[in-house]
């Protein structure tokens, strides 16, 4: 190699080293906030899996796009006013005194949850006070789906006291929780703050339907979780509940499609838990675009009010059109749609 060749090689090496040094400085100085390592490791009776996942995922919408809103309580709440989305601080401000506190057991540790008097809410609140959980087999099922895919987020339609939302947020995922009843939201807000989960959960303070309107909420005696929309035409629900009177709440409905325009919404892949007391067909009819634009991997929904009638036919057609199959929770054998009148209380719809 002559002197000119040696000089050329030396120059090339020098330039390469300088580029590498500058690149190193750039990556060292990158804001940590744009990266989030999602690491999970669990093993206990409620979530009997052990797995560690390390994956770099984008920073989440409630930590970034909501920063322009001044949520004085710390809890992110939005409400659709039949025209557009608005931040709503009122529902989480000035909470009633002496709310009853219980504990929710999750795979990633216990978290506080505020409940109703068990004598007035015998199912959900009663179970939480007695055993620190509610429907653990379904919590396990939802967590199992999230565990398989670190990019999945969680949407809770009919959040009630927030059992599923709190558990999935504790798991480390972003949650959108839809709940219309104020006495539930008071407790849910308190639970989010007490559990330090304000950056994980966004509340939507509306009922969902296929049109935007004002509605009243009916009382299911001793079962706050059985609250339903009064103009619900699902007589299976009305006849199967101890209905009596109405809550004072007059709430506005939104469409599932409206969540696509929720400030900061950027979920690409989700699983959904839907418990809307016989109103499922209306929710789905108002979510056609949502299912077209978001990769909904699975939907866990209550079926007990849909075993007969036109609503069941609408729901079956909706999912069939999009290539979903129904399963008993925890089973890998699809249910027969011809026997939908005999399906279990809950079913999970999964993409084929």
How confident is the model over 38-73, as pLDDT tens digits? 333 334 444 443 333 333 334 455 545 666 776 878
What is the pLDDT, as a whole number, of residue 2? 55
pTM tops 0.85, yes or no: no
Query: Does residue 4 surpass a pLDDT of 60?
Result: no
pLDDT of residue 352: 86
CATH superfamily, domain at 35-351: Vaccinia Virus protein VP39 (3.40.50.150)
- Residue 40 CA, chain-centre distance (Å), reads 18
The 3-state DSSP class for residue 56 equals strand
pLDDT category at 329 given cuts 50, 70, 90 is very high
Contact 65, 243 (CB under 8 A): no
- Give the per-residue pLDDT at 56: 33
In this structure, what token pair is assigned to residue 28?
A: 């060292």
pLDDT value for 221 = 74
What does the pLDDT read at residue 47?
40
Reported as a pLDDT band with limits 50, 70 and 90, residue 326 is very high
Our separate counts of H helices and E strands in the chain read 10, 17
Please tell me the distance from the alpha carbon of residue 285 to that of residue 294, in angstroms, as a whole number.
15
Mean pLDDT of the chain: 83
Identify the pLDDT of residue 218: 79
Dist CA 317 CA 232 (whole Å) = 20
Comparing CA positions, the residue from 210, 212, 211, 156 lying closest to residue 185 is 156
Contact 142, 47 (CB under 8 A): no
Does residue 169 carry a pLDDT above 80?
A: yes
Cα 188 from chain centre: 13
pLDDT at 21: 45
CB neighbours of residue 193 within 10 Å = 17
Output the pLDDT for position 281. 94
**Partners of 59 in beta bridges:** none
Q: Are 309 and 340 in contact (CB under 8 A)?
A: no
Q: 228 pLDDT exceeds 80?
A: no
Nearest to 296 by CA among 139, 138, 108, 157: 157
pLDDT band of residue 224 (cuts 50, 70, 90) is confident
CA pair distance 143, 232, nearest whole angstrom: 31
């Amino acid at each position: 190699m002559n002197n000119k060749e040696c000089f050329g090689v030396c120059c090339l090496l020098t330039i390469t080293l300088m580029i590498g040094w500058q690149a190193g400085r750039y990556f060292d100085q990158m804001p940590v906030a744009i990266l989030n390592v999602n690491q999970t490791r669990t093993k206990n009776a409620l979530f009997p899996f052990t797995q560690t996942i390390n994956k770099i995922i984008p920073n989440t919408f409630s930590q970034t796009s909501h920063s322009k809103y001044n949520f004085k309580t710390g809890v992110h709440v939005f409400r659709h006013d039949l025209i557009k989305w608005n931040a709503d601080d009122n529902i989480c401000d000035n909470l009633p005194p002496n709310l009853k506190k219980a504990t929710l057991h999750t795979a990633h540790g216990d978290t506080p949850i505020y409940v109703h008097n068990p004598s007035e809410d015998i199912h959900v609140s009663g179970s939480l006070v007695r055993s620190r959980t509610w429907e653990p087999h379904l919590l396990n099922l939802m967590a199992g789906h999230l565990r398989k895919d670190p990019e999945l987020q969680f949407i809770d339609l009919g959040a009630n006291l927030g059992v599923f939302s709190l558990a999935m947020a504790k798991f480390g995922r972003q949650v959108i929780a839809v709940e219309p009843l104020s006495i539930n939201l008071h407790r849910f807000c308190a639970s989010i703050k007490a559990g330090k989960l304000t950056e994980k959960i966004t509340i939507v303070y509306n009922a969902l339907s296929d049109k935007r309107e004002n509605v009243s909420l009916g009382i299911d005696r001793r079962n706050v979780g059985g609250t339903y929309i009064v103009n619900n035409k699902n007589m299976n629900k009305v006849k199967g509940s101890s209905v009596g009177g109405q809550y004072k709440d007059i709430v506005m409905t939104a469409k599932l499609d409206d969540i696509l325009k929720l400030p900061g919404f950027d979920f690409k892949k989700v699983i959904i838990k839907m418990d809307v007391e016989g109103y499922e067909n209306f929710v789905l009819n108002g979510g056609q675009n949502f299912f077209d634009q978001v990769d909904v991997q699975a939907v866990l929904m209550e079926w007990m009010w849909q075993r007969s009638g036109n609503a069941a036919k609408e729901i079956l057609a909706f999912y069939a059109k999009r290539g979903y199959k129904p399963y008993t929770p925890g089973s890998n054998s699809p249910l027969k749609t011809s026997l939908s009148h005999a399906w279990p209380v809950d079913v999970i719809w999964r993409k084929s």
